């Protein structure tokens, strides 16, 4: 909380928290290219206050019995240089004024400042995204007064500040306070008096707030007639209740930006009415760019639930977590208005709505992928990682999601599973994939060599979620998913594109085969405590060895993720695979068959394992022993 510095004459002076002071300094002294967004933010806050009271009045009708019609009023006085924003919404108590306007407890101030530090140029587009819109008033005003009376309370309070580090709190007089709600009076700076002009106000409301679900009126002083002129700027009609034919693309865009706090254009607009056993209206948008909170740990959706045009909550989980980037509203005709948060969690109507909205969003994405591949790919680039979470979390819709997902593969980018299956090699029965920390790391893996030699396409899976969904997915189009770093490679049935020329005699080949078999047995015995098996590899082409996971158990990448969790135990012992045609392996096999002292071959076996671990992106089990063996072998070679 802020520190109280002075109390006198019924007025209290408080200091802003440090973060708020820093923010206000930016607002006052930074040059923003679009200062008029302050009015949009104050109107949005006023609308939220009305919606909160509308909701609260469902269980306490006395709060609105004297004034049941909600509205927002903009009052401009060019002579005095003031602009006021009034609403008859929920209002604020003294404690709420301190909490909401004097501290960062209810705002995103710190997050805003952190993000602003990363932005170049105009930062005004960030204001609406972080819940600190009120402070934008100081861009145009050298003093701001907030007079507020919470609905149902007798006392009204006045908050006042010039934005220079402190604010005053005092009891408001009955003359300046509203019967309920909040009045914000901005004393405009000398060079910002245009914001008290009716033409300017009318244009800003039209551009930014024309679809706020609360009527907006404007009061201006008519000097000639010595009267107050009143003009209705918006009717507060819910946009989602209108027919699509009545709404322009610009109006959709305005509503999207207002309701979501985003500043891009919506990539996809989904507007429909569901009828039948459950009736509801949906107006949803898929953004063109990633929202700032896309990877928030809470993974909450941002769809708002209305019941017969009364705002209920934005915490109703109207779409699954993997569609949390979707913004918009759902307005139900069937859910009771007085539903509680607990009842929402298990409400069958809400379950039906979630199912319907989810299916609609996915079907619209699938339709877009067929009609406008370029636009779909821009959405996939922004949200593909999140959508893939559904492959793990939503098995019921996995087949639907498989039509959407795009993969980088050894054959190209943004490949579909249907394209992969269409290009299967003769005798290929699986969809092969490789997991790794990045595409480049996967492409450097020796596990790919045998597949590349046969031009078998491999999915390159570099997102963390990939390690999870491939473990549970049964397959696609009758083809199972198979890791290239787990179990047997089953590549022998697929012919290599170009066969290696081998001019050795049959006798020499037989001898090599026998000596390599002996080496495999020796290496297995030497590494018995470190590996579960040593075997000849069909997946290697140019590397001498690689390490793979056993047939059963986690994939190598999955095991790494599990080991990264605190307290996770080591998994099954890995399998060491040996390339029987590699010169190093043949040399070791020859040395094993001829040398009396097997010490050097033992060192070689352990170096093979360490090499395989390094190729797999890991460290040798004992780096010091690895270095010592390597030095010993190098010295022997140079001697």
Chain segment 45-55, per-residue pLDDT in tens: 898 899 889 88
For residues 288 and 252, give the distance between their C-alpha atoms in angstroms, rounded to a whole number: 14
Mean pLDDT, the chain, integer: 86
Q: Of 65-79, 83-97, 183-197, 295-309, which gets the smallest average pLDDT? A: 295-309
Determine the average pLDDT of the residues in 97-106: 69
The answer to whether residues 480 and 431 touch, using CB atoms and an 8 Å cutoff, is: yes
Confidence label for 121 from pLDDT (cuts 50, 70 and 90)? very low
Which of 14-23, 254-263, 451-460 is predicted most confidently? 451-460
Residue extent(s) of CATH 1.20.120.790 domains in the chain = 506-638
CATH topology of domain 239-382: Ribosomal Protein S5; domain 2 (3.30.230)
Determine the average pLDDT of the residues in 263-283: 93
Does pLDDT of 553 surpass 50?
yes
Q: Secondary structure of the chain: what % helix, strand, coil (to 5)?
A: 40, 20, 40
Q: Look at residue 128 in the predicted model and tell me its pLDDT.
A: 46
Q: Look at residue 610 in the predicted model and tell me its pLDDT.
A: 93
- State the DSSP string of 74-87: EEEETTTTEEEEEE
The more confident residue out of 623 and 639 is 623
**What values do phi and psi take at 154, rounded to 5?**
-85, -35
Q: Look at residue 127 in the predicted model and tell me its pLDDT.
A: 45
Residue extent(s) of CATH 3.30.230.80 domains in the chain = 239-382
Determine the average pLDDT of the residues in 446-453: 92
Residue extent(s) of CATH 3.40.50.11260 domains in the chain = 401-483
Residue extent(s) of CATH 3.30.565.10 domains in the chain = 4-234
Confidence label for 206 from pLDDT (cuts 50, 70 and 90)? confident
Q: Percent of the chain, pLDDT > 70?
A: 88
**What values do phi and psi take at 617, rounded to 5?**
85, 15
For residues 24 and 144, give the distance between their C-alpha atoms in angstroms, rounded to a whole number: 12
Determine the average pLDDT of the residues in 289-294: 86
Per-residue pLDDT of 391-411, as tens digits, reads 999 999 999 999 999 999 999
Residues of each annotated binding site for ATP:
41, 45, 87, 92, 100, 106-108, 129-134, 182, 341
* Backbone CA torsion sign across 375, 378, 380, 383: negative
For residues 374 and 385, give the distance between their C-alpha atoms in angstroms, rounded to a whole number: 18
- State the DSSP string of 243-289: -GGG--HHHHHHHHHHHH---S-EEEEEEEEE-SSS-EEEEEEEESS
The answer to whether residues 149 and 178 touch, using CB atoms and an 8 Å cutoff, is: yes
Confidence label for 28 from pLDDT (cuts 50, 70 and 90)? low
Confidence label for 2 from pLDDT (cuts 50, 70 and 90)? very low
Tokens 């019967």, residue located: 179
The more confident residue out of 395 and 311 is 395
For residues 531 and 239, give the distance between their C-alpha atoms in angstroms, rounded to a whole number: 65
For residues 289 and 491, give the distance between their C-alpha atoms in angstroms, rounded to a whole number: 42
The answer to whether residues 271 and 324 touch, using CB atoms and an 8 Å cutoff, is: no
Local structure of 447: helix, strand or coil: helix
Q: Which CATH number fits domain 506-638: 3.30.565.10, 2.60.120.380, 1.25.40.10, 1.20.120.790?
A: 1.20.120.790
Q: List, edge to edge, every strand of the sheet that includes 4-8.
A: 4-8, 11-15, 166-171, 157-161, 141-149, 181-188, 82-87, 72-77, 216-222, 227-234
Could you name the CATH architecture of 401-483?
A: 3-Layer(aba) Sandwich (3.40)
Tokens 């995204």, residue located: 129
Per-residue pLDDT of 507-523, as tens digits, reads 777 888 888 999 999 99
For residues 19 and 6, give the distance between their C-alpha atoms in angstroms, rounded to a whole number: 21
Confidence label for 165 from pLDDT (cuts 50, 70 and 90)? confident
**DSSP state for residue 26 in the 8-state scheme:** H
Q: Look at residue 469 in the predicted model and tell me its pLDDT.
A: 93
Determine the average pLDDT of the residues in 75-89: 95
Listed in sequence order, the residues at least 6 apart from 253 whose beta carbon sits closer than 8 Å to its beta carbon are 265, 266
Tokens 């969809």, residue located: 431
Per-residue pLDDT of 585-630, as tens digits, reads 999 998 888 876 788 889 999 999 999 999 888 889 889 988 988 8
Confidence label for 81 from pLDDT (cuts 50, 70 and 90)? very high
Number of residues assigned to the chain:
639
Confidence label for 564 from pLDDT (cuts 50, 70 and 90)? low
The count of other CB atoms within 10 Å of the CB of residue 130 is: 21
Per-residue pLDDT of 327-374, as tens digits, reads 999 999 888 766 666 677 778 999 999 999 999 999 999 999 999 999
pTM equals: 0.70
Q: Look at residue 285 in the predicted model and tell me its pLDDT.
A: 96
**Between vectors from CA 601 to CA 595 and to CA 607, what angle results, nearest 5°?**
160
Does pLDDT of 130 surpass 60?
no
Residues of each annotated binding site:
41, 45, 87, 92, 100, 106-108, 129-134, 182, 341
Q: Which helix (H) or strand (E) holds 357?
A: helix 348-371
β-bridge pairing 166-171 and 310-313? unpaired
**Between vectors from CA 551 to CA 549 and to CA 557, what angle results, nearest 5°?**
35
The answer to whether residues 459 and 432 touch, using CB atoms and an 8 Å cutoff, is: yes
Q: Look at residue 196 in the predicted model and tell me its pLDDT.
A: 95
CATH 3.30.565.10 at 4-234, yes or no? yes
Local structure of 420: helix, strand or coil: helix
Determine the average pLDDT of the residues in 450-468: 93
Residue from 437, 441, 376, 439 nearest 404 by CA: 376
Diameter of the chain by CA atoms? 116
């Amino acid at each position: 909380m802020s520190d109280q510095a002075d109390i006198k004459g019924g007025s209290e002076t408080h200091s802003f928290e440090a973060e708020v002071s820093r923010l206000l300094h930016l607002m006052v002294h930074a040059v923003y290219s679009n200062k008029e967004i302050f009015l949009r933010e104050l109107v949005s806050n006023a609308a939220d206050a009305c919606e909160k009271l509308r909701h609260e009045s469902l269980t306490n009708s006395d709060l609105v019995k004297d004034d049941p019609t909600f509205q927002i009023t903009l009052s401009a006085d060019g002579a005095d240089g003031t602009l006021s924003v009034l609403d008859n919404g929920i209002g604020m108590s003294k404690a709420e004024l301190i909490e909401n306007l004097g501290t960062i407890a209810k705002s995103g101030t710190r997050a805003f400042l952190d993000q602003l530090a990363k932005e170049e140029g105009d930062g005004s587009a960030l204001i609406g995204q972080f819940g600190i819109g009120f402070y934008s008033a100081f861009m145009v005003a050298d003093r701001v007064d907030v007079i507020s009376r919470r609905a149902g309370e007798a006392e009204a309070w006045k908050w006042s500040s010039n934005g220079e580090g402190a604010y005053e709190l005092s009891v408001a007089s009955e003359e300046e306070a509203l019967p309920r709600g909040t009045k914000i009076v901005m004393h405009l700076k000398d060079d910002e008096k245009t914001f008290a002009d009716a033409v300017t106000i009318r244009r800003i409301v039209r551009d930014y707030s024309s679809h706020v679900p609360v009527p907006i009126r404007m009061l201006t002083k008519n000097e000639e007639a010595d009267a107050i002129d009143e003009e209705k700027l918006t009717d507060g009609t819910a946009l989602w209740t209108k027919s699509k034919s009545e709404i322009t693309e610009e109006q959709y865009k305005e509503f999207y930006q207002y309701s979501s706090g985003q500043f891009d254009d919506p990539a996809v607009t989904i507007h429909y009415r569901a009828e039948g056993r459950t009736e509801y209206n949906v107006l949803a948008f898929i953004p063109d760019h990633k929202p700032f909170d896309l990877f928030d740990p809470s993974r909450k959706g941002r769809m708002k639930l209305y019941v017969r045009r009364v705002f209920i909550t934005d915490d109703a989980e109207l779409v699954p977590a993997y569609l949390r980037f979707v913004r918009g509203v759902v307005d139900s005709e069937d859910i009771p208005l007085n539903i509680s948060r607990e009842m929402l969690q298990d409400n069958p109507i809400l379950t039906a709505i979630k199912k319907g909205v989810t299916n609609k969003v996915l079907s619209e994405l699938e339709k877009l992928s067929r009609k406008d591949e370029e636009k779909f790919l821009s959405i996939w680039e922004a949200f593909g990682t999140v959508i893939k979470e559904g492959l793990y979390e939503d098995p019921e819709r996995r087949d639907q999601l498989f039509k959407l997902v795009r993969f980088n593969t050894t054959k190209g980018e943004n490949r579909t599973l249907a394209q992969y299956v269409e290009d299967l090699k003769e005798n290929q029965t699986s969809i092969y994939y490789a997991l790794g920390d990045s595409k480049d790391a996967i492409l450097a893996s020796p596990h790919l060599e045998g597949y590349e030699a046969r031009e078998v396409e491999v999915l390159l899976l570099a997102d963390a979620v990939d390690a999870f969904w491939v473990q549970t997915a049964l397959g696609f189009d009758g083809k199972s998913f198979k890791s290239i770093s787990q179990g047997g490679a089953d590549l022998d049935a697929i012919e290599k594109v170009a066969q290696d020329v081998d001019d050795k005699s049959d006798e020499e080949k037989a001898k090599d085969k026998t000596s390599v078999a002996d080496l495999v047995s020796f290496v297995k015995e030497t590494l018995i405590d470190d590996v579960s098996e040593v075997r000849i590899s069909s997946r290697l082409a140019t590397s001498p060895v690689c390490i793979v996971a056993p047939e059963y158990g986690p994939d190598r990448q999955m095991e790494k993720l599990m080991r990264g969790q605190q307290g996770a135990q080591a998994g099954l012992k890995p399998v060491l695979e040996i390339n029987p045609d590699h010169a190093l392996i043949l040399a070791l096999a020859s040395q094993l068959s001829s040398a009396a002292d097997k010490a050097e071959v033992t060192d070689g076996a352990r170096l093979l394992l360490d090499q395989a671990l390094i190729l797999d992106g890991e460290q040798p089990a004992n780096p010091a022993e690895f270095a010592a063996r390597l030095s010993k072998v190098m010295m022997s070679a140079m001697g």
